């Protein structure tokens, strides 16, 4: 019988995370990546915000090296594969490669940032934002 482990990471920290929705009864894990936090200079205020978001999710929380903690958690829960939501981060790809040495990893596409169609001018942020703002926030701006 297939048994998934859900990996929740910072690029889809939401109750609408496709991996959480796909397997709502599967154990889920968030890992505080201290090396990443230090290298990015993440402030305490941002850490508290992330923690408050985590409190709204059905996740276990650990700290340490992400792939190592995920592998231990998968073993503890008898997981047969790891399910997560995609990320453009090179670090995400590296972690997935490590996980795939032991478990199949299924990466679901994340929700689109904007649902508005059409072409966007990506050469200048101001022109992009003038068009994208309506789709991101609705009429209230």
Lowest-confidence pick of 9-13, 54-58, 118-122, 131-135: 118-122
Is residue 140 scored above 60 in pLDDT? no
The model carries a pTM of: 0.79
Give mean pLDDT, residues 39-58.
91
Rounded-to-10 torsion of CA 119, 90, 61, 22 = 50
Written as six digits, the tokens of 94 are 């590296």
Domain span at 90: 4-110
Give Dmax (Cα) for the chain: 51
Report the CATH number at residue 99. 3.40.50.620
Residues 6+ apart with CB under 8 A from 140: none
Average pLDDT value for residue range 60-69 = 96
Domain match, 116 and 88 both = no
Residues 56 and 122 in one domain: no
Which neighbouring-strand residues pair with 63?
A: 32
- Pair (33, 97) in one structural domain: yes
Q: In what order do the strands lie in the sheet containing 81-85?
A: 60-63, 28-32, 4-7, 81-85, 105-108
Between CA 126 and CA 140 the distance in angstroms is 18
Q: How many separate domains does the chain show?
A: 2
pLDDT tens, residue by residue, 73-92: 999 999 999 999 998 888 89
Across the chain, mean pLDDT equals: 87
pLDDT of residue 90: 86
| pLDDT, position 141 | 47
Question: 76 and 99: one domain?
Answer: yes
């Amino acid at each position: 019988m297939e048994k998934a482990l859900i990996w929740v990471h910072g690029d889809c920290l939401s109750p609408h995370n496709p991996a959480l929705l796909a397997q709502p009864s599967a154990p889920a894990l968030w890992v505080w990546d201290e090396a990443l936090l230090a290298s990015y200079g993440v402030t305490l205020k941002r850490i508290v915000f992330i923690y408050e978001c985590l409190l709204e999710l059905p996740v276990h929380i650990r700290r340490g090296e992400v792939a190592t903690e995920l592998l231990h958690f998968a073993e503890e829960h008898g997981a047969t594969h790891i399910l997560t939501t995609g990320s453009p981060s090179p670090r995400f790809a590296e972690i997935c490669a490590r996980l795939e040495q032991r478990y199949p990893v299924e990466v679901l596409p994340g929700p689109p940032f904007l649902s508005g169609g059409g072409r966007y001018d990506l050469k200048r942020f101001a022109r992009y934002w003038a068009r994208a703002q309506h789709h991101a926030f609705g009429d209230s701006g």
